[in-house]
Chain A
Amino acid sequence: MQVTLKNITKTYGNNVQAVKPVNLEINQGELIVLVGPSGCGKSTILRMVAGLEDITGGELYIGDRQVNHVDPADRDIAMVFQNYALYPHMSVAQNMGYGLKNRGVTKDEITQKVRDAADILNLSEFLDRKPSQLSGGQRQRVAMGRAIVRNPSLFLFDEPLSNLDAKLRNQMRIEIKKLQRRLGVTSIYVTHDQVEAMTLADRIVVLNGGVVEQVGTPSEIYNNPASLFVASFMGSPPMNLINLAKPVTHKNDKNELKLVNKLFGSQDHNNIQIGIRPEKVQYTYDASENSLPFTIDYTEELGASRLMHGKIADQSFILSDTSETEVKSNNIHLSFPAEALYKFDNETGRKIEL
C-alpha cells in the first residue's frame, strides 16, 4: 500500500512545533527508515501515522484513503513497540490472536494464522507461554508475530531493537529485513541508530529539529549528504568537517587554517565548512605540494580498520586506514582527493555544489 504524507505538522499545546511540514511518498513494499537524534520528531511522525497522536495539520493517506481522523484500529496498520507492549495476562497465542479476534475472525482461522506466523518466527513451542516466561529476543518475536498475523497494509516499527543486546540486535535486524522482503508490506521504521538505518532502509529520511534534512537511499545519503547535519550524523566514524570560519588564536592553528584555505582554494567565500569521509583521506610520510602535516594523537584499532585521531586547526579530525601495515610515525602528511571533498555553507547548513 502506498502511504502519502502531505504537509503533515504537529504542534503541541505549548505552541512548540515538534514537526514542521513533512512531505513524503512511500511506495508499495518500501521500507522507509526515519532517523535522527532524540527530539527530532521521528517518533511523533510515526505515532501520527499510527493514529496514536493527533495530526495538527496536513493530510495523511494510506492507499487512496485519507485517514487523519480514522481510529488506529481501522487504519489497517500494525505496530511494533520499543518495549514490545505485550499483554502480560495473555499467552503468546492469545497475544498474537487478539487483533484478529476483535475483527471477528473465526476461531479456527485465528488458530491457523497464529500457527503460521509462529512457524515463520520459530515460536511454535512457546505458544502457551506467558510473555514473562520469555527472553527479550523471544518477546521481540512475539511482538513481530502480533504484527504479521493480521497481514496489515502497513507496518510501523518504533525503535524495536533498542532493548536488545548488540549481538541479538544484529541478528533481529537481518530477520526483520528478510521478513519485510518476504511479506512485501510497506513499512516505516524509526531509529536513532544510523547503522540500523543504513542497513535496513530502502530509503532513509534524516530528521533534525522537526525538519526533514534529506530523503534518499542509503548510498545517496552517505555519498551525497545534502546538509552539514546529514554529513555529521550519518556514517561511523562521522565525516570530518573543518570550519574555515572558526576563530583560532594559536599561531600554529592559524597557519594550518591558511594552508587548508589555500588547499581548497576557497578564498572567495570563507564562511564554509569542508568535509571529507575518514576513509577517503590519504597519507604519506613525506611532505608534498598539496599535503597537510598531521600529528596522530591516538589510534583506535578496530581489526578491519584503524582509526587515527588528531587535530587540524584545532578541530578534531579522524582518518580511517584499512591497510594491514601499521603507521610507522605519528607525524604524517595528509592529502585530500578533490572528488571526495564536500563544501557546506555555514549559514544555511546546506551543501554547496562544487
Chain B
Amino acid sequence: MKRANFSNPWMPLLFLLPQLSIIAIFFYYPAVQAMQSSFYLEDPFGFGSTFVGLRNYVETLLSDQYRKAAIFTVVFTFLVSFFSLSISLLLAYKADKVLRGGSTYKTLLMWVYAVAPPVAGLLGVMYFDQSFGLFTYFVADFGWDFKLGVDYYDTATAMVVVAVWKQVPVNFIFFLSGLQSIPKSINEAALIDNNSGFSRFWTITFPLLAPTAFFLLIINITYALFDTFGIIDMLVKAVPANNPMTLVYKVYLDGFRGNDLGGSSAQSVLLMILVLILTVFQFRLIERRIHYT
C-alpha cells in the first residue's frame, strides 16, 4: 500500500468528510436516538415521554411474542442461508461445466437479481395466494390446503421459498466467478489424482471456494436478517395476526403499527448488539480456518 503524505493535516479529513457525514447522519444519529428512546415510555399520541430505565428491555426479553419471533428469525436465517447457498453452488458448479449455450443459462439465472425485494414478495403472493395462487391450486390437487397468511407454517414456507429464490442469483454470480478463478490446470491435476468427482469437489473445489463461500455466508445472514423485510411485508400483507415474523419486522410493527416507540427502540438496540456479536464471532472463529491464496 502506498502511503500518501499531506502537507495540510486537515486535507485527509476533508476527503473523508462525505463518507463520515453519511455514516453520522444515517447511522450514528439514529442509533443514538434509538438508544435514548429505549429508556423512555412514549405517550401513544406523541405528547410526552417518561423515563422508565430498563423496563422496555425487561418487557421485551420476557415477552412470549419476542421469544417466538427470535426463534423464528434463527430458523428462517438458517434455512434461507443454507438453501440459497447450496442451491446456487450447485447451479454454479453445473453451469461452469456447460460448454454449449453456457452464457444463456448464466444470463437466465442472473435475471432474478434485478428484482427488488417487495416485487419478489408480490410475485410470491401471486404464486402462493389462497384465492388465486398457482402454487396453491397445484398443491390442492395433492390435498394440501395451502393458506398463506393464515397458517403459520404455510406462511413461513412461502417466506423461505421467496427469500431463497431472490438470493440465489446473487450467490450464483459470486460462486461462478469463484469457480472460474480456479486455474484450469488445478482441476486437471485433480482429475489425474482422483477419479471420484464427488470427492474432487469436496477436497479441491470447495476448499478453494471457501473464501467466496465465507463472504457469501455473511452476506446471506445479513440478507435473511434485514433485507427480507420487503418480502415479509408483502406476504403477511401487514396483517401480523398469527403469522411468523423476523425480529426486524417486529421492530417496525411494534414501533409504527403498535406506536410503542420505546419498546421498538429497545428491540433495535438488542439487534445492534446481536449483529456486533455475530460479526466478531464470524471473523474470529471462521476466518482462521479459511485459506486465501
A-side residues, CB < 8 A to B, are: 50-52, 71-74, 77-79, 81-83, 85-89, 98-99, 102, 132, 146
Whether the pair B291, A98 counts as a contact (CB closer than 8 A) is no
Q: Which of B191-239 contact A (CB under 8 A)?
A: 191-196, 199, 203-204, 207-208, 210
Whether the pair B192, A78 counts as a contact (CB closer than 8 A) is yes
Q: How far is the CA of A77 from the CA of B186 in the complex (A)?
A: 16
Residues of B within 8 A of A81 (CB): 185, 188-189
B-side residues, CB < 8 A to A, are: 183, 185-186, 188-196, 199, 203-204, 207-208, 210, 291, 293
Assuming the A-B contacts A87-B204, A89-B208, A102-B194, are A79 and B291 also in contact, with contact meaning beta carbons closer than 8 angstroms in the complex?
no
Q: How far is the CA of A81 from the CA of B188 in the complex (A)?
A: 9
16 additional A-B residue pairs with CB within 8 Å, beyond A72-B188, A73-B194: A50-B188, A50-B192, A52-B191, A72-B192, A73-B191, A73-B192, A74-B195, A81-B188, A81-B189, A85-B183, A86-B186, A88-B291, A89-B210, A89-B293, A98-B194, A132-B293
Residues of A within 8 A of B192 (CB): 50-52, 72-73, 77-79, 99
CB of B134 to closest CB in A, whole Å: 40
DSSP class of B's interface residues: helix, strand, loop or mixed? Answer: helix
CB of A333 to closest CB in B, whole Å: 54
CB of B84 to closest CB in A, whole Å: 25
Chain A residue nearest to B189 in the complex (CB): A85
Residues of B within 8 A of A51 (CB): 191-192
CB of A82 to closest CB in B, whole Å: 7
Q: How far is the CA of A277 from the CA of B293 in the complex (A)?
A: 50
Residues of B within 8 A of A88 (CB): 186, 208, 291, 293
Q: How far is the CA of A72 from the CA of B191 in the complex (A)?
A: 6
Q: How far is the CA of A123 from the CA of B173 in the complex (A)?
A: 40
| 4 cross-chain pairs, A with B, having the tightest CB-CB distances, nearest first | A73-B195, A85-B185, A99-B193, A85-B189
Assuming the A-B contacts A52-B188, A85-B185, A89-B291, are A99 and B207 also in contact, with contact meaning beta carbons closer than 8 angstroms in the complex?
no
Chain A residue nearest to B207 in the complex (CB): A89
Chain A residue nearest to B195 in the complex (CB): A73
Whether the pair B195, A83 counts as a contact (CB closer than 8 A) is no
CB of A88 to closest CB in B, whole Å: 5
25 contacts between A and B (CB under 8 A): A50-B188, A51-B192, A52-B191, A52-B192, A71-B191, A71-B195, A72-B188, A72-B191, A72-B195, A73-B191, A74-B195, A77-B192, A78-B192, A81-B185, A83-B183, A85-B185, A87-B186, A87-B189, A89-B207, A99-B192, A99-B193, A102-B193, A102-B195, A102-B199, A146-B189
Q: How far is the CA of A102 from the CA of B194 in the complex (A)?
A: 6
Q: Of residues B190, B193, B194, B291, which shows the largest number of chain A Cβ atoms within 10 Å of its Cβ?
A: B193
CB of A250 to closest CB in B, whole Å: 52
Chain B residue nearest to A71 in the complex (CB): B195
Residues of B within 8 A of A79 (CB): 188-189, 192
Chain B residue nearest to A79 in the complex (CB): B192
Residues of A within 8 A of B196 (CB): 102
CB of A38 to closest CB in B, whole Å: 17
Residues of A within 8 A of B194 (CB): 73, 98-99, 102
Residues of A within 8 A of B195 (CB): 71-74, 102
Q: How far is the CA of A10 from the CA of B254 in the complex (A)?
A: 70
Q: How far is the CA of A99 from the CA of B167 in the complex (A)?
A: 37
Chain A residue nearest to B199 in the complex (CB): A102
Residues of A within 8 A of B191 (CB): 51-52, 71-73
CB of A75 to closest CB in B, whole Å: 8
CB of B214 to closest CB in A, whole Å: 13
Chain B residue nearest to A70 in the complex (CB): B195
Q: How far is the CA of A201 from the CA of B191 in the complex (A)?
A: 27
CB of A81 to closest CB in B, whole Å: 5
Q: How far is the CA of A89 from the CA of B206 in the complex (A)?
A: 11
Residues of A within 8 A of B186 (CB): 85-88
Q: How far is the CA of A157 from the CA of B185 in the complex (A)?
A: 13
Residues of B within 8 A of A77 (CB): 192
Q: How far is the CA of A125 from the CA of B190 in the complex (A)?
A: 25
Whether the pair B193, A82 counts as a contact (CB closer than 8 A) is no
CB of B234 to closest CB in A, whole Å: 42
Chain B residue nearest to A156 in the complex (CB): B192
Q: How far is the CA of A72 from the CA of B186 in the complex (A)?
A: 14
Q: How far is the CA of A159 from the CA of B56 in the complex (A)?
A: 71
